[in-house]
Structure 1
């Protein structure tokens, strides 16, 4: 919802009431944080029991608040129709799995489904560090402890540091947003824990490069060594509309660590990793374009929407139904070379 700031008395009254309503659902620390001009992102449970992820912000026309409903039940990996290899990643006991993508691509939902699978199928001590807590996990075969940034932990890095003193088997880090958090998560993965985390990166290569570049130069060799030895997989996802337009489906680029990819990381030839993904289908790997084409062929996604996410768009032209999209592509194409003219001296 948007709360417009108009100059009429009635508008001022509406804005005042809206501010009061928003203020009522905030904690004291959240009110203070918002009063300083900061945006807020938190979870909220209504009096009827509905759970929402809430973002409160300011803009030139007023105060805005977005309420996104969170299902009461955690979706399963099967319901999300994720590739089978994602389920197999839950069998590991040590190392790091990164789920990446832009904001709003379902990273939190995928991680929640993975935690739920671990919770149901293994006896583990799982500590989940989130910002905010979205899906609530009841302990099943495992013990699941959820902590929220700003409420239970001051930072993700401190949350990981504290979690490692509590004999965890699995640590979920809501976002690897800074060097300190990445460093602590790497330490956890190297010392016998399964670490699940997210990054706002849009490909496997960009994910690896981001981790390497995030840490100080003097730690570069150590970081590359960690990735080569302890990174298990990168799952990069986008949400693509279904053909009926009634929902969206997660389509994933998948990297599974191999000796060949480890060598490319250590020798800083990450630009060659896409060819490894393209040829690694038997290991569960795939480029995003491969996954998009497979989904179009299976008629599980809208081809026009899939086209917008494709990297090599010309391979998708024959599937596009909105031809105006193709004309935009043609306008971006490089001009054809001018043939040389014959001349005599």
Structure 2
């Protein structure tokens, strides 16, 4: 049993989402979105390095020594899986560990809109789950993939860095590939996936032009592609995809995206005030004919208005989701104001001193 497993047990027992270890500091847990110190001594650099290297794959230690960054997944016996990130900082080494549930949650478990299940059953198209780091994107995608695996009879390929949730081949055949271990890069795995008879391809993150281009090609050629981006709204997501490409190609990409896009799910997690933990606020854009036309005609700025008027189709803005959570007494109104796109709708919730200081 690795020495770090005692910390991982504490992570699980307290219900924290993350564990942070840094040279020269006490260990910390993220509970309900806030960091709390563990009653333990400060860890010195060499001491922490020994702890971290005990669980790192041997082939990866040299990578960390040369680059200062490392991502991998670790299965702690009797505790569960963790996503591990090692990095160097001014005082020495540091690490962040994210707890991954052993059982993949369902869409119902997470309280997600049922329409996400319908999106997972579509024969083709591009579905993007977006939001800041730590907003639950991977968990939402995992629930959608579980719904597909339990319902369809198809071939699912995931390309991840690292693999987080472990999926069961229930009705579907599920093959999970890890960048750096099973394949050289997202782009290389995507290129190979098109020759591996997939029906659904999950791309852990669309990081660069080549990966985005291949994901669009896969969606255009009859595959359902699920992926993530670090953007804060549906409109900004579409802009990000298009802006990755050179100016002389953007008209072509707008046309391709208008045809292949199925949905953009933009989400953020906020601290609850009615109970421990955090709650999800979600914006949902569905690629209706009106949305496709706006993308093609480069009128992305009009998309928020289309979402507002598309509630009958299941669409919703982030601001509407925030207002619902405030009305239900689940989040602090000031937090809603801070996360709102149209802060004018929330001005009554934030004191003048807060508004002027933000």
TM-score higher than 0.5: yes
Q: Distance in 2 between matches of 1:256 and 1:135?
A: 26
Q: State the match for 2:280 in structure 1.
A: 250
What secondary structure, in the 3-state scheme, does the structure 2 residue paired with 1:166 have? coil
How far the C-alpha of 1:48 sits from its partner, in A, is: 3.5
- 1:51 is matched with 81
1:117 aligns with 2:147: yes
SS at match of 1:114: helix
After the TM superposition, which of the residue ranges 45-54 and 107-116 deviates more from structure 2?
Answer: 45-54
Shift >6 Å, 4+ stretches: none
Conserved? CA contact 2:153–2:171, under 8 Å: yes
1:271-319 CA-to-partner distances (Å, cap 9, x unmatched) read: 1111111111101111111111122223343433222211222322444
The answer to whether 1:236 aligns with 2:266 is yes
> Counterparts of 2:143 and 2:250 in 1: how far apart (Å)?
33
Instruction: Kindly state the Cα deviation for residue 13 of structure 1 after the two structures are TM-superposed.
Output: 9.7
1:82 aligns with 2:112: yes
Q: TM-score, normalised by structure 2?
A: 0.85
- Residues 252 and 291 in structure 1, CA contact (< 8 A), matched pair in contact too: yes
Give distance in 2, aligned partners of 1:254 and 1:130: 24
Matched, 1:309 2:339: yes
Instruction: Give the CA deviation at 1:20.
Output: 2.0
Q: d(CA) in 1 for partners of 2:87 and 2:163?
A: 19
Is 2:96 aligned against 1:61? no
Give the match's secondary structure for 1:165: coil
Taking the TM superposition and a 5 Å limit, the aligned residue runs for 1:13-162 are 14-162=44-192
Q: Deviations over 1:121-156 (max 9, x none)?
A: 111110011111111111111111111111111111
Q: Quote how far apart the aligned CAs of 1:12 are.
A: 12
SS at match of 1:239: strand
Equivalent position to 1:179, from 209, 213, 237: 209
Corresponding residue SS for 1:182: helix
- 1:214-240 CA deviation, whole Å, 9 max, x = no partner? 123332222111111110000000001
Q: SS state of the match for residue 218, structure 1?
A: helix
Deviations 1:220-265 (A, max 9, x none): 2221111111100000000012223511122111111122221211
| 1:170-224 per-position Cα deviation (integer Å, ceiling 9, x unaligned) | 0000011000001111111011100001111111111111111112333222211
- Please tell me whether the aligned partners of residues 233 and 257 of structure 1 are also in contact (alpha carbons under 8 angstroms): yes
> 1:167 pairs with 176, 192, 197, which one?
197
38 and 245 in structure 1: CA distance in 2 versus 1, 3 angstrom threshold: farther
Checking the alignment, whether the CA contact within 8 Å between 1:138 and 1:144 is kept in structure 2 is yes
Asked if structure 1 preserves the Cα contact closer than 8 Å seen for 2:218 and 2:225, the reply is yes
| Mapped partners of 2:143, 2:42: distance in 1 | 44
Q: Which runs of 5+ in 1 are unaligned?
A: 6-10, 333-345
Aligned to 2:353: 327
Total equivalences in the alignment: 323
- Pair 1:4-2:24 in alignment: yes
Cα distance in 1 for residues equivalent to 2:332 and 2:56: 39
RMSD of aligned residue pairs (Cα, Å): 2.0
> Counterpart of 1:335?
none
Q: Which has the larger radius of gyration?
A: 1
Tell me which of 234, 242, 248 is aligned to 1:204: 234
Contact kept? 1:4, 1:63, Cα under 8 Å: no
CA contact (8 A) 1:80 1:249 kept: no
2: distance between equivalents of 1:305 and 1:13? 34
Identify if the C-alpha distance between structure 1 residues 94 and 330 changes in structure 2 by more than 3 Å, giving closer, same or farther. Answer: same
CA distance in structure 2 between the aligned counterparts of 1:25 and 1:144, rounded to whole angstroms: 27
The structure 1 residue matched to 2:221, chosen from 171, 191, 199, is: 191
TM-score by length of 1: 0.88
Unaligned runs of 5+ in 2: 1-20, 26-40
